[in-house]
Chains A and B, each alone.
Chain A
Amino acid sequence: MTRETRETVVVLSGGLSHEREVSLRSGRRVSQALRSRGLEVIESDVDSTLVPRLAALPGAVVFPLLHGEAGEDGALREVLDLLGVPFVGSVGSACRVAFDKSIATTVVADAGIRTPAQVALPHEIFRELGAQALVAALGSHIGFPMMVKPSRGGSALGCSKVETAAELPSAMVGAFAYGPVAVVEEFVEGTEVTVAVVDRGNGPTALPAVEIRPDSGVYDYTARYTAGATRFLCPAEVSDEVADRCAEVAVRVHRELGLADLSRTDMIITADGDPVFLEVNVAPGMTETSAVPLAIEAAGWSLGEMCADLVQAAALRGARRPLATTNQV
């Protein structure tokens, strides 16, 4: 891993998802970090000029920092594979599973990891069966408070905590504004932590957990991207034993979902010290107010070192073909 090369890195950020702004911030920060390590960085948006641009850069490694759809649902990564372009991160098929909360939660639960009780419902089913009856059933099955989220998407966009049955319809409308399927989950009370998993070529390892304490009590878009609005503790203020459990959950999620290079698992630690999986991110935020850079620092690295190592590992690995990965999930 000490090869003296000057890879060209294409940092992809922006895109047309609802998280474009966040992605641009992540892209800027990672680009600067890579440049500080002497790498040649080209920052690129995702549009019709991307494919010819990549074709003109043989040997370049792509670092996708696209959040939300296309970036995290695997579509763009499938394209990178088709083009034979090496890239940092998980392959498309794994992303497709990880990005969709309704699918990822099921896979993770099947692996024996604790998850919240969850129901995933498309808008059409409410229309066809009648919202009233379904809303009542959700109330009795999941109970209050509950979380309503779009099944695909990040940055807590479209998510709400619902305390009473009366609030549920508008929360559903809010989630459906971001996509056709919503998940309704049991609200898990406890300490909110997020754990990054990094694989620099010798197996996935968890970084110290970051504990998240938003001033408002809710880690929503404003709490995520307003500097100062959230208190972060890294490593999390939990016992060694609990920290180990969190690390173990994050690494298992990474392995179970067949993720590569970098992931971040969000979880809640219950009062009895049990981590509950909430969701996993294949392109975790790298903004100035994101958790992963804090975890990297707590692990004793700089963001630049870490990202440069991931780029070098991706370069050594070379192109991955989609067919070679079909058995990963």
Chain B
Amino acid sequence: MRHPCLVSTSDPRPSSAVRPVAATDHEEKVRRKDTRLDNYVDRYAARTHGMTASAIRALFSVANRPEVVSLAGGMPNIADLPLDAVGSILNDLVVGNGRVAMQYGSGQGEPMMRDAICEVMRLEGISAHPDDVTVTVGSQQGLDLLTRIFCDPGDVVLCEAPSYVGALGVFRSFQCEVAHVAMDEQGLDPVALQEAITALRAAGKKIKFLYTIPNFHNPAGVSQSLERRMAILEVARRADLLVVEDNPYGLLGFEGDPVPAMRSLDSDIVVYLGSFSKTFAPGFRIGWVLAPHAVREKVMLAQESATLCPPVFSQFAISSYLARHDWRGQIKVFREMYRERRDAMMAGLADHMPAGTTWTVPAGGFFVWVTLPPGLDSQAMLPRAVTARVAYVPGTAFFSDGFGSRHMRLSYCFPTPERIIEGTRRLGEVLKYETSVHETFGTGVRPSVIMPYEAPGANQN
């Protein structure tokens, strides 16, 4: 039976008698569906307006497939964790102390967790009191809370150029303006910092803080020397500028002892963000904020309204792990594993990148920052790379202002050394082909359209 709403050319001249909607214009109007497929489209807050689907981000869904060598994600490789030891620690925790560990807890975080965090921070020269620590849901939430308590729409946050895509997302969601400050091979440039502060203040802008990643920068792969840290802090002190130091990778250096944290050099103007995601495991979602007392009070109150309390069970689990396992030894194991992968990445790039390509040599952490020959656009090239079964993050993800198309971030944390080499080989082929396309058409690349969420999700490798 044919449905009355259908038009068919099996009857060569469809008559209006089988029109989809009823006879009169009035009824037709009544029955026409006029929709945006979202009943709430007019009600969202202004800060959600940038939250749209992105073709670039959708490509990362392919990157997660095993056929693709993903040099895109930032997932730590936790395959080497002693799961039997962690398992018995968790078993004892539930059996012995489950009623407390599974209860609500303190908004600031559990005391034994904050004690242990202070012990971890001592490895990078920080001396802190547990009362000044607030536990957060990963350091990502710490950054969210800091931005929440400091920033009104239109306030300026100073960031490195490039900067961590997840931080740019937080700043954007609070409608901050991001001003990027130049870096060199030693990280953030203090002269450029001073110039930016002067220019922005002269333009009447309110700068709320500087966000910096001093160790094994994500995505740039460089680290600030001790002298550089002191110079940056000197500029900040003179300008009365708050510094937010984000340090997830500090203990994952391949050479020598960690450089003292900025917070160890100045406890008044530095707020420090730390995390167990890379030194232990990200699934527990435990990070922290170490802040001067007045800031800490506000962070803690903001934390209570956001979560009531940070995950209690995770804090008990991590505290037990730190107390009962050789966690320092485990970090050494991680370091050696990442060093081997970094070496594979360096060897692969040296073998397979076309002339004119340059890259940073990270002394720790997860990432390499690659600069492509002039004219190539890493964002426009990504579909070709995905077709060739290799993925990276285009440099544009790490800028809020449209720059970065000549760059890409490669990660070596998750794939094995063999896969890393294979990934660089595939990437070399892609670059070669893309270069030939550009030679054909000249180098007039389109300015890339910037979306705030064009990077893999945290659960992507």
Contact = CB atoms under 8 A, between A and B. Distances in A.
A binds B: yes
Given A177-B384, A240-B16, A231 B34 contact: yes
Contacts of A126: 440-441
A114 interface: no
Contact of B440 (A131, A157, A225, A232): A131
Given A16-B67, A18-B386, A204-B8, A231 B20 contact: no
B98 interface: no
A169 interface: yes
Interface stretch (A4-12, A50-58, A244-252, A315-323): A244-252
Given A173-B441, A203-B8, A243 B65 contact: no
The number of chain A residues touching the other chain, given as a range, is 35 or more
Contacts of A97: none
B33 A21 contact: no
A169 B441 contact: yes
Interface residues of B, number: 57
A135 B381 CA distance: 21
A131 B67 CA distance: 35
Contact of B36 (A204, A228, A235): A228
B445 A224 contact: no
A318 to B, nearest CB: 23
Contact of A17 (B62, B434, B440): B62
Interface stretch (A100-108, A269-277, A296-304): A296-304
Given A131-B442, A174-B380, A300-B3, A222 B36 contact: no
Contacts of B54: 221-222
Contact of A221 (B7, B21, B35, B55): B55
A267 interface: no
Contact of B437 (A123, A294, A299): A123
Nearest to A245: B14
A127 to B, nearest CB: 5
B382 interface: yes
Interface string A157-178: 1101000001101111110111
Interface in A235-279: 235, 237, 240, 243-244, 247-248, 251-252, 255
Contacts of A47: 65, 67
Give the top 10 A-B pairs by smallest Cβ distance, nearest first.
A228-B41, A225-B53, A228-B38, A227-B38, A247-B7, A169-B441, A221-B55, A21-B58, A205-B6, A21-B61
Interface of A: 16-22, 24, 47, 123, 126-127, 131, 135, 155, 157-158, 160, 166-167, 169-174, 176-179, 202-208, 220-222, 224-235, 237, 240, 243-244, 247-248, 251-252, 255, 288-289, 294, 297-301
Interface of B: 1-10, 14, 16, 19-21, 28, 32-38, 40-41, 52-55, 58-59, 61-62, 65, 67-68, 377, 380-384, 386-387, 389, 434, 436-442, 444-446, 451
